[in-house]
Structures are given as structure tokens and as C-alpha cells.
């Protein structure tokens, strides 16, 4: 059993008291927000609203201090060396695009190689592809091995072979958003660093499972979205080691990111402003800081073991439902179950569950190349968060049993 008090945790989330009919299992898409986050965002707009870094008035000074405090809060959470290594973006997608654009325009040359994995979200595929052809950079993909029963994993022998080609960049997800599997990042990143590669981690799904320690994880860059960590949408974090952030060519030009502008040329500002053109999502940054303070009051290991319990209960129940094809495995899983009902379209199952107010996602989960490898057109994803209750898992299993029966008619 788990020591984690899921019922008490859930009470922090107004959504569940205001929308009690919902069983929300779409947490890999976005999580709900605790009252502390809603309050921080509301307070900003009610009492502190002002732009940052530009006003001479007290309101702007207060907003700037709050915004910079939020940056420091993220710095401490990730154990980054300094707050200037935390860049606020609009999300993981924006952060990965900034890294890919920035490296392509500065460090990478024709013939260089970038390694990604078969488990990547489109954000960590397309952001590189956008530039590969133009710059003559080669994108290599670590293939999958294993099967659904034992769990798909990356083929580490193939990875080592790709590393022997001396890639300039290795960019990997921490956790697969489609299958839930946790990558053996520590060793993979160390191996990449041993070959001199720049290392990038897409932490969009991983951040809510395992907070990285930037002093021990061999990552030069790490990105995540606030909205998957109980924070607001519209805000992401791009962490980078100073030496690499300074090498990134800015993707966005505009106010704030410059030190001097003339019509002939511009000189860029210092970090972090250099990579934050325009007015940032100030309220969302305060919301993320509130989310981090909130989640930090709970024991991360207890949350993990509670999520494992939710997964196990769901998996055990599925064994009794005929005709379910599981794509995800129970072991080494951060809380995501992906499955299909034999011979049925995933959207049909998701719609039947929606009729019972169970929110899941159906489709290819922004991982089309992975689904092509798995040779299935899509799947239904059940993604658990610590506010989900064991009773909800039981209700979901019952709804799934009924849906399978209806689909078989
Ligand atoms: N990477 C992964 C692994 C994801 O799951 C997601 C969100 N589905 C993203 C990147 C993109 O995140 P966002 O849409 O918040 O930019």
C-alpha cells in the first residue's frame, strides 16, 4: 500500500469539487491546477498586474521582483547553478524549437549528426527536421526493441553505434508520452557526453515523475511545460548550462532581448533576457512558482509509489477484460497506459468513455513515427496523476468492460 494521502491531495484541486462527475485520466495532455496556482494567477491580475523590466513605477517593480522570484524558484527546483540559466518560454515545444534553431544557426555544420529516439514527441522531431535539410544536418533515430508485454525499450546497442559516429547533439525524452516508459537517461546522457555531444532532454512528461538535478544529470538543456506540473498553460522552461545558452542564436527578436538596437544591427542582452523577447507570461510564471511550492510540500517518492499502485490496479483489472491489446507495459512506467480494443478504432472507445465522463485521449499522441513502428493506427491513453483515486480506477475498469461489450455488438 501507499502512504500517500490521495484524497487529501485531491482536495487542493477545485476542479474536482466543481466538476465532480468527471474522471480525469488525460493528465499526460495537461494536469489540473491546485487552488494555490489559481490564487497566485488571480492575485497577480487583481492586485499586481503590470509589465516587467520596463516600468519606473512601483507596480512594475513588484511584478518584476515576483517574476524573477519565480525564475529563482525554478532554478532551485532543478538545482540549476544560477537563475540566468532558466529561460521562460511558452512551453516545451517553444523551448525545443529555440534549442534546435539556436544550435543549427550557431554550432552545427553540414554533415553533423543529431540523435533522437523512436519514442520522441513531434516537438523533439519536427523542431530538428525544420532545419536539417537546409543546414545539411543528419537526423539519426535510436530504434525500439522489445514488445508490449515486456515493455518497449530503446535499442542501446544501436544507440552506441550511433554514438560512434560522433553526433553533435543527442536529444531525448525523459518519459514517452505515448507509452509511459522511462528512458535510462542518466547512462544515455553520460555516454553522449563521453562522445562530446551536446545533450538535450525533453522533460515534458518526465518532470512530474522525477525532478532532475542539473548538477548530476549530464544534460546541457532540459525543457518542460508548466501545465503538466499543475501550473498554467502558456509557459515553459528552457534550462540550459550558461555556456550553451550563450551559444544559442535567439529564435525571437524584439524588446527586452537586446542591449542596443540601431537600424544597421542589434547587440543582444545578457541571459536570461537574451532569449526572452517580448512580454513574457508573467502570471503563468507566478503560477508555475506556486505549483512548484505546492508540489514540493509532498513526498516525491510517495507520489511515485502511489502512481505505481494506480497503474498496477488498472493493469490487474485489464487482465479480466477480453480483447484488450496493451501497448504499454506496467514495469518502468511513469503512469501511462496505452491500449486498444481488438478490431476497434481508438476514437470509438474514447467516445464511449466520454459518455461516462471519463476523459482519456485517443490517437497517435503526437508520436506518429512511433505508431508507424508499432504498426497500429493509434491507441487510447489513460494517464494517471496523484489526485486520481483507486475508486476512479475501478469505475474506469467497469466503464471499459461495458464499452468493450458495446463495441462487440
Ligand atoms: N514533449 C512531450 C514528451 C510531450 O508529452 C509534450 C506535450 N504533449 C510536448 C513535448 C509538448 O509540450 P507543449 O505542448 O506543452 O509544448
- Please state which of the four CATH numbers 3.90.1150.10, 3.40.640.10, 3.30.1330.30, 3.30.70.20 is assigned to the domain occupying 38-295: 3.40.640.10
Q: Write the residue with the smallest CA distance to atom 4 of ligand 1.
A: 204
Predicted-assembly ipTM surpassing the 0.85 threshold: yes
Longest dimension (CA), the chain: 71
Cα(200) to centroid(ligand 1), Å: 14
| Ligand 1 pocket mutation, candidates 225, 237, 238, criterion most atoms within 8 A of CB | 225
Domain ranges in the chain are 6-25+299-407, 38-295
pLDDT for 91-149, tens place per residue? 999 999 999 999 999 999 999 999 999 999 999 999 999 999 999 999 999 999 999 88
Whether residue 54 is predicted with pLDDT greater than 90 in this model: the reply is no
Cα(121) to centroid(ligand 1), Å: 7
**Domain 6-25+299-407 grouped into CATH 3.30.470.20:** no
Q: Write the residue with the smallest CA distance to atom 12 of ligand 1.
A: 92
Spatial CB neighbours of 286, under 8 Å, sequence gap ≥ 6: 40, 41, 44, 66, 67, 70
Spatial CB neighbours of 320, under 8 Å, sequence gap ≥ 6: 401
Residue by residue, DSSP assigns 2-63 as ----HHHHHTT-HHHHHSTT-EE-BTTT-----HHHHHHHHHIIIII---SSS-SSHHHHHH
What whole-number distance in Å separates Cα of residue 409 and Cα of residue 401?
13
Q: What is the pLDDT of residue 3?
A: 86
The pTM score is 0.98
* Percent above pLDDT 90 for the chain: 97
What whole-number distance in Å separates Cα of residue 409 and Cα of residue 404?
9
**Residue range 278-290: mean pLDDT, rounded:** 98
Q: Which among 194, 134, 136, 144 is positioned nearest to 166, based on CA atoms? A: 194
Cα(77) to centroid(ligand 1), Å: 20
Q: What is the pLDDT of residue 1?
A: 54
The minimum-distance atom of ligand 1 relative to the CA of 206 is: 3
**Within a 13 Å sphere around the CA of 393, how many CA atoms are in the beta-carbon half?**
25
Q: What is the pLDDT of residue 56?
A: 87
Give the angle 246-248-253 at the CA atoms, nearest 5°: 105
Q: What is the pLDDT of residue 332?
A: 95
Query: Which residue blocks in 19-120 are alpha helix, DSSP H?
Result: 35-43, 58-78, 92-104
CB contact at 8 A, 22 and 359: yes
Burial of 38 (0-12, 13-18, 19+ CB in 10 A): middle
Q: Which among 109, 100, 77, 74 is positioned nearest to 221, based on CA atoms? A: 100
Cα(89) to centroid(ligand 1), Å: 13
Q: What is the pLDDT of residue 250?
A: 98
**Within a 13 Å sphere around the CA of 397, how many CA atoms are in the beta-carbon half?**
19
Task: Give the DSSP letter of residue 189.
Answer: H
The minimum-distance atom of ligand 1 relative to the CA of 233 is: 15
The minimum-distance atom of ligand 1 relative to the CA of 174 is: 3
The minimum-distance atom of ligand 1 relative to the CA of 29 is: 8
| Ligand 1 pocket mutation, candidates 26, 92, 335, 363, criterion most atoms within 8 A of CB | 92
| Ligand 1 pocket mutation, candidates 98, 120, 177, criterion most atoms within 8 A of CB | 177
Q: What is the pLDDT of residue 403?
A: 96
Give the H/E segment covering residue 225: strand 221-225
pLDDT for 294-323, tens place per residue? 999 999 999 999 999 999 999 999 999 999
Q: Out of 181, 195, 366, 396, which one is annotated catalytic?
A: 366
* Residue 2 pLDDT class (50, 70, 90 cuts): low
What whole-number distance in Å separates Cα of residue 240 and Cα of residue 258?
19
Cα(204) to centroid(ligand 1), Å: 5
CB contact at 8 A, 336 and 327: no
pLDDT for 254-278, tens place per residue? 999 999 999 999 999 999 999 999 9
The minimum-distance atom of ligand 1 relative to the CA of 93 is: 16
- State whether residue 146 is helix, strand or coil: strand
Q: What is the pLDDT of residue 359?
A: 98
Task: Tell me if residue 366 is catalytic.
Answer: yes
Grid cell at residue 222: 532540459
Amino acid at each position: 500500500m501507499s502512504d500517500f494521502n490521495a484524497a487529501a491531495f485531491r482536495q487542493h484541486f477545485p476542479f474536482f469539487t466543481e466538476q465532480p462527475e468527471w474522471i480525469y485520466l488525460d493528465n499526460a495532455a495537461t494536469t489540473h491546477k491546485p487552488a494555490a496556482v489559481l490564487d497566485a494567477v488571480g492575485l497577480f491580475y487583481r492586485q499586481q498586474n503590470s509589465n516587467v523590466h520596463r516600468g519606473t513605477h512601483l507596480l512594475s517593480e513588484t511584478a518584476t521582483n515576483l517574476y524573477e522570484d519565480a525564475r529563482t524558484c525554478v532554478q532551485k527546483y532543478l538545482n540549476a547553478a544560477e537563475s540566468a540559466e532558466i529561460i521562460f518560454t511558452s512551453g516545451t515545444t517553444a523551448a525545443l524549437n529555440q534549442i534546435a534553431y539556436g544550435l543549427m544557426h550557431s554550432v552545427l555544420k553540414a554533415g553533423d549528426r543529431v540523435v533522437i529516439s523512436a519514442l520522441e514527441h513531434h516537438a523533439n522531431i519536427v523542431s530538428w527536421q525544420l532545419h536539417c535539410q537546409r543546414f545539411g544536418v543528419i537526423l539519426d533515430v535510436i530504434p525500439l526493441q522489445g514488445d508490449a508485454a515486456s515493455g518497449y525499450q530503446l535499442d542501446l546497442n544501436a544507440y552506441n553505434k550511433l554514438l560512434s559516429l560522433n553526433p553533435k547533439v543527442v536529444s531525448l525524452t525523459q518519459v514517452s508520452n505515448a507509452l509511459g516508459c522511462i528512458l535510462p537517461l542518466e547512462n544515455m546522457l553520460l555516454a553522449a557526453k563521453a562522445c562530446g555531444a551536446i545533450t538535450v532532454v525533453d522533460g515534458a512528461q518526465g518532470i512530474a515523475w522525477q525532478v532532475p538535478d542539473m548538477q548530476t544529470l549530464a544534460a546541457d538543456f532540459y525543457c518542460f511545460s508548466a501545465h503538466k506540473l499543475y501550473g498554467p498553460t502558456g509557459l515553459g522552461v528552457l534550462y540550459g548550462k550558461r555556456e550553451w545558452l550563450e551559444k544559442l542564436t535567439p529564435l525571437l527578436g524584439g524588446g527586452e532581448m537586446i542591449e542596443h538596437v540601431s537600424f544597421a544591427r542589434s547587440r543582444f542582452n545578457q541571459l536570461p533576457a537574451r532569449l526572452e523577447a517580448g512580454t513574457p507570461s508573467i502570471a503563468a510564471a507566478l503560477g508555475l512558482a506556486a505549483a512548484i511550492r505546492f508540489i514540493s510540500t509532498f513526498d516525491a517518492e510517495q507520489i511515485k509509489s502511489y502512481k505505481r499502485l494506480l497503474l498496477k490496479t488498472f493493469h490487474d483489472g485489464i487482465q479480466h477484460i477480453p480483447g484488450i491489446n496493451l501497448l504499454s507495459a506496467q514495469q518502468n512506467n511513469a503512469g501511462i497506459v496505452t491500449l486498444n480494443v481488438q478490431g476497434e478504432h481508438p476514437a470509438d472507445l474514447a467516445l464511449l468513455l466520454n459518455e461516462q465522463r471519463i476523459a482519456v485521449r485517443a490517437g497517435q499522441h503526437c508520436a506518429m513515427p512511433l505508431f508507424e513502428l508499432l504498426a497500429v493506427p493509434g491507441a487510447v491513453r489513460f494517464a494517471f496523476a496523484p489526485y486520481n483515486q483507486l475508486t476512479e480506477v475501478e469505475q474506469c475498469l467497469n466503464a471499459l468492460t461495458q464499452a468493450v461489450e458495446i463495441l462487440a455488438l
